[in-house]
């Protein structure tokens, strides 16, 4: 066997989590996998995996070798695909992190369809709103929403993220519908505790920006909770439309001050700067971009017009 084959075997061992599982996946005897792994370590004069009677762990050198081996193997596969013209089999493990609510509400169907298209692919998913260190925690890809500032990452834009100010009909019947920016000061607001600035920045139809300080009644670090509190009549909330769209469609929430717009953000696919983007990642990014596009389905009933955007 050549070094590329042994390199691929080592990657399979790490992805599978053990020599035994890798042997089962490759339909090889465990002794064969162990021997080839030992041969690779001998050739490199470096221990890649520390083995005890109870468990095996990737060494620091092994983790770096794994990272770079995956880049090399993906490049070889891409070269073979481009040269032969034949489609490359998408397999291996795609370790992805995404925002909690966005992932649970909008990535389910995409990932379901993607797995059906590529049954040899394995996913490891982490839905969280914390800022994950992709390199430190070994993630191949992240979906992120907002303004990207970390220069150690590359990004591909997936879709636009718009927001809407809204409240329940019950709340508005009791407290009145605000018709001007000045009216907002008399209302209760439900706000993201993760946001650094709790003022509303609004743009009118002439393109003029307005900053409005809003009194906070309740703060939380989760949009689903704020959505529920708004539906129950506790106050006005500014939410991404990908969270609020179903309640707006059912009229459980009503848009407010639609002559103004909140700042527009973007959703990005993010990956480490020095990492070759694997075929599986490129295919998933393409599918997400195709499904959501410039006018994602969750904006259909939120009152946005193409001309105003």
Which residue would you say has higher pLDDT here, 102 or 6? 102
Number of domains present in the structure of the chain:
3
Q: What is the DSSP letter of 104?
A: I
Residues 18-39: what's their mean pLDDT?
Answer: 87
Which tokens in the block code for residue 242? 């990908």
The pLDDT value recorded for residue 1 is 57
Query: What integer pLDDT is reported at residue 198 of this predicted model?
Result: 72
Q: Are residues 178 and 197 in the same domain?
A: yes
Same domain, 99 and 149: yes
Residue 260 placed within a domain: no
- pLDDT exceeds cutoff 90 at 226: yes
**Higher local confidence (pLDDT), 212 or 53:** 212
Host domain of residue 237: 163-255
Let me know whether 180 and 229 are in one domain.
Answer: yes
Q: Which of 123-137, 168-182, 265-279, 282-296 has the lowest mean pLDDT?
A: 265-279
In a domain, 304, yes or no: no
pLDDT reading at 56 higher than 80: no
DSSP string of 147-206?
Answer: ----TTEEEEEEEEE-EEEEE-HHHHHHH----SGGGGGGS-EEEETT-S--SEEEE-TT
Least confident among 44-58, 67-81, 176-190, 234-248: 67-81
167 and 153 assigned to the same domain = no
The burial of 171, by beta-carbon neighbours within 10 Å (0-12 exposed, 13-18 middle, 19 or more buried), is given as buried
Range with the lowest mean pLDDT among 47-61, 102-116, 178-192, 288-302? 47-61
Assess whether 74 and 125 both reside in one domain.
no
Angle between helices 60-84 and 3-16 (to 10 degrees): 120
Residues 138 and 101 in one domain: yes
Is residue 210 located within the same domain as residue 232? yes
Rounded distance between C-alpha atoms, residue 192 and residue 220, angstroms? 5
The C-alpha atoms of residue 221 and residue 146 are separated, in whole angstroms, by: 16
């Amino acid at each position: 066997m050549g070094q590329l084959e042994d390199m691929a075997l080592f990657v399979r061992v790490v992805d599978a989590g053990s020599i035994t599982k890798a042997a089962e996946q490759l339909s090889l005897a465990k002794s064969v996998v162990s021997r080839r792994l030992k041969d690779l370590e001998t050739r490199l004069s470096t221990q890649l995996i520390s083995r005890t009677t109870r468990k095996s762990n990737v060494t620091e050198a092994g983790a770096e070798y794994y990272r770079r081996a995956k880049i090399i193997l993906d490049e070889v596969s891409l070269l073979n695909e481009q040269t032969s013209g034949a489609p490359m089999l998408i397999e291996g493990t795609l370790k992805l992190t995404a925002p909690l609510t966005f992932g649970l509400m909008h990535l389910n169907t995409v990932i379901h369809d993607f797995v059906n298209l590529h049954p040899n692919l394995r996913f490891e998913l982490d839905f969280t709103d914390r800022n994950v260190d992709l390199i430190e925690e070994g993630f191949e890809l992240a979906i992120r929403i907002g303004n990207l500032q970390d220069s150690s990452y590359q990004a591909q834009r997936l879709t636009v993220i718009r927001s809407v100010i809204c409240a329940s009909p019950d709340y508005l019947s009791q407290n009145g519908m605000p018709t001007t920016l000045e009216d907002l000061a008399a209302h209760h607001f439900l706000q993201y505790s993760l946001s650094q600035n709790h003022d509303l920045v609004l743009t009118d139809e002439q393109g003029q920006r307005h900053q409005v300080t809003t009194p906070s009644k309740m703060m939380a670090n989760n949009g689903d909770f704020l959505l529920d509190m708004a539906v129950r009549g506790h106050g006005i909330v500014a939410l991404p439309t990908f969270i609020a769209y179903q309640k707006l469609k059912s009229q459980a929430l009503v848009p407010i001050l639609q002559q103004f717009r909140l700042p527009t953000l973007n959703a990005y696919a993010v990956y480490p700067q020095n990492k070759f983007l694997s075929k599986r990642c490129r295919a998933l990014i393409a599918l997400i971009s195709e499904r959501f596009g410039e006018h994602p389905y969750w904006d259909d009933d939120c009152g946005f017009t193409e001309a105003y955007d």
